[in-house]
Amino acid sequence: MKKAYICSPYRAESEKEMKRNLEYARELTRKALEDGMAPVTPHLYMTQCLNEEDPWEREIGLKAGLELLKGCDFLMVGIRYGISEGMNKEIVAAEVVGLDVVNADKLHYKLKDEKLRGSV
């Protein structure tokens, strides 16, 4: 089972935007599960124990997420609401360690290609 690191916005200007971002992260996580992958979505659980408004806690959460990224097979990026500063760091980190960066809306193309090559 391939591991997909889920990258989508978390920080928000309003409660409504925060709710939207969390729903989107859950949607992407579910999509990965339905496609037979093991999703890694740090912003769905690290934010439950860390205070996003505390710069030190935010930084340790981001660092831990980047460590988790290294153990994944690719980065799945949800761009529906744009690319945040944190997402950009994850994209750059994925490229540095040689992971494919896949637009979540185009995931089916990657999976189809891998199936054709027999690497799923």
Average pLDDT over residues 74-102: 95
CA dihedral 83, 111, 108, 24 (to 10 degrees): -40
Average pLDDT over residues 93-111: 88
- Using DSSP, state whether 99 is helix, strand or coil: coil
The model's pLDDT over 32-83, given as tens digits with 9 standing for 90+, comes to 999 999 999 999 999 899 998 899 998 999 899 999 999 999 999 999 999 9
* CA-based end-to-end distance of the chain: 8
Helix axes 85-96, 55-70, angle to 10 degrees: 30
The model's pLDDT over 29-46, given as tens digits with 9 standing for 90+, comes to 999 999 999 999 999 999
pLDDT, residue 53, reads 87
Which residue has 């690191």 as its token pair?
5
Read off the CATH number of the domain in which 111 is found: 3.40.50.450
Q: Which two tokens stand for residue 33?
A: 């599960």
Separation between Cα atoms, residue 76 and residue 90, nearest integer Å: 10
Residue spans of alpha helices (H) in 1-120: 15-34, 42-45, 55-70, 85-96, 107-117
Residue 62 lies in domain:
3-117
Predicted structure pTM score:
0.88
Tally of domains within the chain? 1
